[in-house]
Each structure stands twice: as C-alpha cells, then as structure tokens.
Amino acid sequence: MKERIISAPQGASFKLRLFGWDLNGTWPWVAFAGTRQEETGVVEDAADPCEQETRRVSAAFQVTGEFTADEEYSGLITVQTRDKSSISPAASSTGGGDDANPAYHHHHLCVLKNGSWVSVGPDRLQINNDAGLPADYIPPWGMAVLIVLLILVCGVLRSVNLSLLWLDPLELYVFHSCGSEEDKRAAKRLEPIRRRGNCLVCSLLFLCALGHSVLGVLLYRVLGSIAPAVFTSGFLIFLVSELVPHIVCSGYGFQLAPGFTWLAQVCMEPNRRKGSCSLGTKREITDSNREGIPGPVEEFSRGALRRKTVEDILTPLNDCFMLPSTAVLDFSTMSEIMQSGYTRVPIYEEEKSNIVEILFVKDLALVDPDDCTPMTTITKFYNHPLHFVFNDTKLDAMLEEFKKGNSALAIVQKVNNEGEGDPFYEVLGLVTLEDVIEEIIKSEILDESDGYMDMKVKRPMAPLEIPLEPRSVHQEFSLFKLPEGEPKIRTSPQLLLATHRFLSREVEHFSPARVSEKVLFHLLRHPSVNQEVHFDPSNRLSPDHYLYTRNHPVDYFILLLQGRVEVEIGKEGLKFENGAFTYYGVSALTAPTSVHQSPVSTQRRPPRDPFEMGDATSPSSYCPDYTVHALTDLQLIRVTRMQYLNALMASRVGQSPESPEIKILPNSQTKLLNERNTVTQGRSNTHCTHCIHTSLY
C-alpha cells in the first residue's frame, strides 16, 4: 500500500481487512467500482461510481468467498484480481469503452447500505490495478525458504553465543594450563575471542534481535494477522533458537566452540572498536586474577569441572577394613587396627553389608589391651551415628554433607530392584572426605597410612626394609603379635616393644647395623630368652638368686626388665643396687678382650664389624669379676652367645645383596635358635681361660 493506493498484479488473490461496525449484515454487501483518472492525477468529480452496476460488475477486483469476522469491529474478505481478457464483453461495452480496462481504472470500495450501493469514507479509497509485480513481492516458495534460513541463522548465532561464552576467562586459562593436549589447543584458539567477550555479546545480541524482528514481519505477511504471526514467531524462536542450542551446547559446547571462532570474528568485527572500551577493565581484572592462581588451585578448578557421583569413587565393600561386632579389643585386634592406618573402622554383624556401628581410633586411647574389652562395649558407649548416602549422590552434594561436620565417612547404598522379592537397600562400599577431595584435585593425597595399601589402584604395601636408623620407618606392630599355636610369652607386648627399642638404640651389639629388626623381634619373643627369677626371702643365698658369680664363666647376656638386683664388684666388694633396663655381660656375646668393662654398661663402644666372628666361635668363655644376685622377683631377657651368633647369621642372610630372593620366615629364626641351643646345652664349659678385672667407673 502506498499513498492510500493498494497495488496488486493481475490474477492475484489477497485478503483485505475491513474495520467498522455492524459488519454482520446480509452478504454480499461489499463490492468494488472502477473510475477513470484524468491525466492530471485527480479523480474525476462525477456521480458515485458504486451506483452503476456495470462498473461494479466490470471491476477488475472481485470479492470471492464470504466475509469472516474474527473480531468485533473487523473482518477479512478475499479479493481476486482479474486480467483484461476475463472481463465479459457485455460488461465492457456497457461500461463505455475503457471503463473496464483494469490498467486505467481506480476502484472504490462499495458497500450496500439501505438497499443502495455507496462508496465508504470521506476520502474515497482508490485501488490501483497495476499489471506489474510490486517491488517487495516475494513468491510463497521464496518466503518459506527465507523463513527457514532466518530461523537457522538465529539458532547458529545463539549456539555461537553459548559455546564461546560457556567458560569464563579464568576457567579457560585453567584448561590451557592443565588440560589435555586437545583441551589446550581448543583453549588457545578460544582465548583471544573470550577476552573480547563483551564485543561478541553485543554483536550476537544485535544480530539475533534483528533476525527475530524480520522473522515476525515475514510471518505477518504470510499469515496476514498479528496474533498468529506473534505466537508462531515466538514458538519457532524458542524451539530452534533457544532450546536446541542449549541442549547441544550443554554437552558439547567446549568441543563445538573452536569451529565457531571464524564466525565469531566476523560477527564482532563491526562492534570491535565500540566494545573495546568496556572490555579493557575486564581484561585487566582477568589478567590480575590469572597471575594470582597458584598451581594447586589450578588442579582444584580443573577437577571441579568434573561431575561424578559417589559410586564412581567409593571403595568397594570387599576392600574395606572392617571388624565384626564380636571382636575383642586385645593386643592382636588393636595392633590390626593400628596397622590398617584408618581413623574410622566400620563394625558389622554377621556379614559385611550389615554395618551397625562405627569405631573411632581415638576411642581406644583409654582402652587397655590386657582387659580384652568387647568391641560392642566401646561402640555402644560412644554411639557414633552412621551416615548413609545413595549411589547417585553428586560429589558437590557429598562435599557439602561432609562440611557440616556430621561425619567424614559415609556408607554408600542403592535400592536393589532385581529379582522377584521386594526392593531392599544394598550396601556398595564406603566413601570418605579424602576420596572426594582427591577426586576434586585429581591427585592422590599421601599420608602416613598410605604405606599399607592404596585401595583404588590395589597397590600392595612394600616389603619391610631394614634401615640403618629405626626411627625413619613406620613400626610394624604386627610383629609383636603372638604366633598362632606357640606358648604364651610372659612378657607383655608393651614391654616387649620397649625392650626392642631399648636394645636397638642403646646396646651397640643389637643395633640395626648388626641385628635386623625382624630378627631381633623373633629373638625377644623366643620362650628361652624370656625368663623369670622367683625370689625366696627365706633362702636369700640360694644359687638360683645369682645371675652372675665372680670368676665363674658365663656365655650369656642379661637385660633386667623388672625387679631389683645387688651388684658386688672389685676386690673391695663395693655393692650397689640396680633396677629395670640395666644390662650385664655384653662381652659374653663377642670374643673376649683385655678391655676392662663395668658390669653395668651405659656407654656405647666404637662399632665393630658385625660379621667378624672368628674369635667368637672359640671355646673361650667370659668370666665376670662381679656378682649379681636378686633382691626381688625378676623378669629378664637372657641371650646366650650361640643365640646371638644365630641372630647375626640370620641378619646377614637377610641383608645379603647376592640373594635378594631369600625371605626370613616368622618361625625360621626360632627353629634355628632351638637347634643351636640344643647343641650349646650339651656342651660343658668348665674352665675359665680369661678373667676381666674391672674397677667401678
């Protein structure tokens, strides 16, 4: 429509909307009538052309169909244009020559009012029947193609916006620094585009808004009504330009982004200079944030991008360290707990999937292993709550639960619907706060307990090595446990542990350089090494009370563990008393020397070759020049020279680099000591070849 003249080609059909009141009259009441236009362009001032029936009949515009009232004061009519050949000759001749020629006539809109036809409006509507196509005419197939292309372009622009802006510059920098090779290449291509994110957003928003506006106009031309055009345009924009790009980019946004970089550069080029002003501040902030990112935070950010459930990181139930509710907290059980390295131990009844309690290692601080306290006594006293989670719980939600402080260990379960019975809860395993943190930072957290076993990679613990310095290794408390089937040792495990540490650190002959830790453990646990002396007050001079007698040959070493003894030394007969952890007869373990030695050794001597035993195998014996007899009941460690030599030989085999495959079995030293002691007991040492005269230091 131009200057109140509607132009339409010959043979075209279009809809015309009429506005007014009382539009529901008897049909037909609308028609068109043609008039001649003078060369000056002014409509001739003559009688109303609508009154002439010939002009209405011969008009190039004819109303087809019925009037459709879609609103209260408006409706649609369908108008069909006719070419010159379709006009009847009678109408043409009656109309007077060129009146019926559609190329030279304007047409007035006529309505039937009170039985007569009149033109409507003070300014008569003039319709120009032009045979040529209008300048903005688009055929139906072209309109359909244009609408489809426009919708697809809007969807692509939205996909570019979502994919390229899915990660902020900080997260993109993390991928560039810590990601895989493919991620690094993609981040390198996206980083220049993402730094100018403001320009990109402005350009894409402008293009999308322009496309949405054009789409609405085209749909209005196709549908001819505002309401259908608006709703159709909104639905297509939501479905193709919003919903589909979000679905695609939510899973593959980072993978698709590198392919859109060229399109993004083209789109934001017009707004590059305009957007660079506001981008400068954000770029400076991003650069400052990037400079302050340490290495661990990069790993944390990279791991935080992963979305996993607790089922992906849990420790399977069969690999968990658990104890039955019927267990007794004796030395064996507590040693097993300490050896596991865990601070929380689940307690189950009958089967591992039935977890009923949880034991904290700190709960055992006041428990004496000698009391053999039942496990249920401790667990029911503290009554720690159990924390159950489902297998599909996200790690971020699991971390929030741990942050509340209720527990650092959770039991993972799922609903088992398999089979014909009712659904039930099935326990899958355990998950801890450490597991969640390790998954977030994508790195293993090593602590003092990781030397036992890594449950995730099934890494067995390393074999026990023999260090030069005992304090540098984790103590193997299981070596203090009593072997199954052997008679019970009179020395308590705690006292045995203290004895081992004292000998290995204070007595040079039992240092790790000479006797390995394992061999010393088995030596101290041997029944013949642990002895007791019962003191009889009524017979103080009983020979059983004397541990050493002056000038009487001996071949054993004694360490006093409990009780008191009296030592008489020298020709003057000086006497003094000693108590626990004093030792005598160190020289009896090695070759006799002319060096004077105190009966109570408190100083370390320069180390000798631990495997130099040429003189040690001689029949010579050690003759002390002091006397040691008991004053109370005694508990002591008595090691003979042959037992000590056997320990040296066993340590030498274990430390030999020529045969690393030789392993010292728990009972091998015991068997060796028993055999050699049998030979020693049958041998009689009746003469003293060397006596040591010492004085009190």
Q: Is residue 453 part of a domain?
A: no
Residues 144 and 124 grouped into a single domain: no
Is the separation of the CB atoms in 123 and 1 below 8 Å? no
* Residues 79, 156 within the same domain: no
Distance CA 211, CA 203 (A): 12
Chosen domain end from 128, 151, 182: 128
What is the token pair recorded at 312? 């992906």
Strand order through the sheet with 315-316 = 315-316, 424-432, 409-416, 388-390
Q: Which residue has the higher pLDDT, 218 or 468?
A: 218
How many distinct structural domains can be found in the chain?
A: 4
Q: Per-residue pLDDT tens for 24-61?
A: 655 677 888 877 654 334 444 457 778 888 888 877 77
Residue 156 has pLDDT above 80, yes or no: yes
Same domain, 377 and 267: no
Which 8-state DSSP code applies to residue 465? P
* 469 inside domain: no
- Structure tokens of 22? 């009382």
CATH of the domain at 389: 3.10.580.10
Residue 419: pLDDT band with limits 50, 70, 90: confident
Q: Do 296 and 176 have their domain in common?
A: yes
Q: Tell me, what's the pLDDT at 560?
A: 92
Please indicate, yes or no, whether residues 120 and 210 belong to a single structural domain of this protein. Answer: no
- Give the pLDDT of residue 481: 56
Nearest to 237 by CA among 221, 215, 222: 215
pLDDT greater than 90 at residue 620 = no
When pLDDT is cut at 50, 70 and 90, the band that residue 409 belongs to is very high
User: For residue 432, is pLDDT > 70?
Assistant: yes
> Is residue 551 included in any domain, yes or no?
yes
Least-confidence region, from 313-322, 343-352, 395-404: 395-404
Q: How confident is the model at residue 470 (pLDDT cuts 50, 70, 90)?
A: very low
- Residue 386 is predicted with a pLDDT of 92
**Parent domain of 396:** 339-441
What is the C-alpha to C-alpha distance for residues 638 and 628, in angstroms, rounded to an integer? 14
Indicate the pLDDT class of residue 477, thresholds 50, 70 and 90: low
> Does 675 lie in the same domain as 529?
yes
How does residue 565 score in pLDDT terms, banded at 50, 70 and 90?
A: very high
Say yes or no: 373 and 493 in one domain: no
Pair of tokens at residue 372:
């053999």
681 CA to centre of own chain = 65
pLDDT at 634 over 80: yes
Q: Is residue 587 part of a domain?
A: yes
Quickly state the pLDDT bin for 265 (edges 50, 70, 90). confident
Least confident of 90-99, 220-229, 341-350: 90-99
Among 285, 303, 321, the domain-final residue is 303
Greater pLDDT, 427 or 105 = 427
30 assigned to some structural domain:
yes
pLDDT of amino acid 530: 87
Top pLDDT among 209 and 481 is at 209
Q: Mean pLDDT over residues 598-608, rounded?
A: 46
Q: What is the CATH number of the domain that holds 87?
A: 2.60.40
User: Based on the domain organization, do 496 and 575 belong to the same domain?
Assistant: yes
> Do 169 and 197 have their domain in common?
yes
Q: Are residues 102 and 163 in the same domain?
A: no
Q: Is the pLDDT of residue 572 over 60?
A: yes
DSSP for 198-250, please give it: HHHHHHHHHHHHHHHHHHHHHHHHHH--HHHHHHHHHHHIIIIIIIHHHHHHH
Q: Report CA Rg, the chain.
A: 52
Q: Which of 322-331, 572-581, 637-646, 668-677 has the lowest mean pLDDT?
A: 668-677
Q: Is residue 477 part of a domain?
A: no
**Unique residue bearing structure tokens 């320009």:** 199
- pLDDT number for residue 47: 72
CB 73 within 8 A of CB 20: yes
Answer yes or no: is 468 within a domain. Answer: no
Tell which of 414, 441, 468 closes a domain: 441
Is the per-residue pLDDT at 93 higher than 60?
no
Q: Is the pLDDT of residue 674 over 70?
A: no
| 270 burial via Cβ count (<10 Å: 0-12, 13-18, 19+) | middle
Query: Model confidence over 172-202: pLDDT tens digits?
Result: 777 777 777 887 887 787 777 777 777 777 8
**Neighbouring C-beta atoms of residue 260, cutoff 10 Å:** 21
Residue 439: pLDDT over 50: yes
Report the pLDDT averaged over residues 485-496. 66
Supply the CATH number for residue 578's domain: 2.60.120.10
Residue pair 128/134 in contact by the 8 Å Cβ criterion: no
Based on the domain organization, do 14 and 64 belong to the same domain?
Answer: yes
**What is the residue-averaged pLDDT of the chain?**
73
CA 151, 156, 157, 159 torsion-angle sign: positive
190 & 65 share domain: no
pTM confidence score: 0.36
Query: Given this model, what pLDDT does residue 667 score?
Result: 43
Asked if residue 522 belongs to a domain, the reply is: yes
Low-confidence winner among 129-138, 417-426, 584-593 (lowest mean pLDDT): 129-138
Cα separation values, 302 from 175, 296, 297, Å: 7, 10, 8
Q: What residues contact residue 30 under an 8 Å CB cut-off, 6+ apart? A: 18, 63, 67, 77, 109, 110, 111, 112
